[in-house]
Structure 1
Amino acid sequence: MSKNIILIGYMGCGKSSVGRQLAKNRQMDYIDLDDYIEMKEKDTIREIFKNKGEVYFRKIEATYLQECLGSLKNTVLSLGGGTPCFGNNMQTIVEAINSPSVYLQTSIGELAKRLFTEKDKRPLIAHTKTVDELTEFIAKHVFERSQYYLQSQLKVSTNSKSVEEIVTEIGSLIEV
């Protein structure tokens, strides 16, 4: 079995839901990098962004990513949507031994539909007012980030699939 499985993709693609179920099905531990950062920093991601800024957040995010990949075993690790796109994070992810990365690809329309109702909880999109504005923001962001996401060893489309279907597909792609 793989040492770890790393889930990447844009916010709202299902990394947390899929990660929890994948870990349960494979009898692995589960860690969400954002939750790990909040635990280590004793503060919420929202407050870290607000009080210390994105540059500080991205710096500690890279540190905690390396910490997780260096110490975790038999764990499904869900990353924040921006994690692969900053510093050398994607290189760190790709080079992680026995830890395949899986890009959960989701259409722009599907992401906008999923994220609009919870946008106030997400610092990067909280400023958007309408579905169209959110859709435009997501489209631009996904375009900018796709060069990083596409470096993942595996790609799985999440459109119109249940969490269980996605988990099954990932399981079939990763050797036991």
Structure 2
Amino acid sequence: MSSRNNIILIGFMGVGKGSVAREVIKNSEYMAIDTDDLIESMENKRVKNIFEEDGESYFRKLELDVALWLESSIKNTLISTGGGFYKQKNLKKIATIILLDSPFEKIIKRIKNHPNAAKKLKKRPLLADLKKAEELYKERRPEYLALADIVIDVTKKSALECSNELLKKVKKYA
């Protein structure tokens, strides 16, 4: 466990980081924040619009700003991240890193089966082209695995089951 007692959830977009985070905070003493929500608040616009209007490189600079703020300011917090946030160089200084892992096809199936599927797909600009998204998944997954302190396979588990496993593993890791 990092000295700041934070947890960072990493994983591919749509894997369930937000859902698991909501369960963790219901069942623990952690507070929760989401890096994409912070960025949207900073810029007063949606991630999708930042990508469209300002470009991905600008968005990644905003992620860096958030990462630096997290390192200097946040304790006892569960941090949900966007799919590319894991590339920030200071993650190990911020928190224990937990990868929520699942095969690409299962992530897409999970999103498409969600009652709010159209909205979930629309808010993730990098999922517009599923072939490119799968290539991105294949590129990122080994990087996620290399960075993670703890890996949780979310494939056949509810958010509550993932939360319980996460809290148990974090306790052992500390």
TM-score in terms of structure 2 length: 0.86
Partner residue in 2 for 1:47:
49
- 1:171 correspondence with 2:173: no
SS state of the match for residue 55, structure 2?
A: helix
Alignment identity in percent? Answer: 35
- 1:144 correspondence with 2:105: no
Inter-partner Cα distance in structure 1 for 2:54 and 2:82: 18
The 5 Å alignment of 1:1-176 reads 3-85=5-87, 89=88, 91-96=89-94, 99-116=95-112, 117=117, 118-126=120-128, 128=129, 134=130, 136-150=131-145, 151-175=147-171
Inter-partner Cα distance in structure 2 for 1:120 and 1:22: 26
Asked if 2 retains the 8 angstrom alpha-carbon contact of 1:104 and 1:156, the reply is: yes
Inter-partner Cα distance in structure 1 for 2:134 and 2:56: 21
* Distance apart, 1:141 and its partner CA: 1.2
* Distance apart, 1:110 and its partner CA: 0.8
Asked if 2 retains the 8 angstrom alpha-carbon contact of 1:112 and 1:138, the reply is: no
* Distance apart, 1:156 and its partner CA: 0.5
Inter-partner Cα distance in structure 1 for 2:111 and 2:123: 10
TM-score in terms of structure 1 length: 0.85
Asked if 2 retains the 8 angstrom alpha-carbon contact of 1:23 and 1:75, the reply is: no
SS state of the match for residue 124, structure 1?
A: helix
Asked if 1 retains the 8 angstrom alpha-carbon contact of 2:126 and 2:133, the reply is: no
What one-letter code is carried by the residue in structure 1 that aligns with 2:93?
A: E
Give the aligned CA root-mean-square deviation in angstroms: 1.7
What one-letter code is carried by the residue in structure 2 that aligns with 1:145?
A: R
Inter-partner Cα distance in structure 2 for 1:125 and 1:161: 23
Inter-partner Cα distance in structure 2 for 1:64 and 1:47: 18
Inter-partner Cα distance in structure 2 for 1:174 and 1:62: 25
Where does the alignment leave 5 or more consecutive residues of structure 1 unmatched? 129-133
Deviates more, 1:74-83 or 1:37-46: 37-46
Where does the alignment leave 5 or more consecutive residues of structure 2 unmatched? none
Asked if 2 retains the 8 angstrom alpha-carbon contact of 1:94 and 1:153, the reply is: no
Deviation per CA, 1:81-135, whole angstroms, max 9, x where unpaired? Answer: 01113xxx1x311233xx2110000111111112343322211122x3xxxxx2x
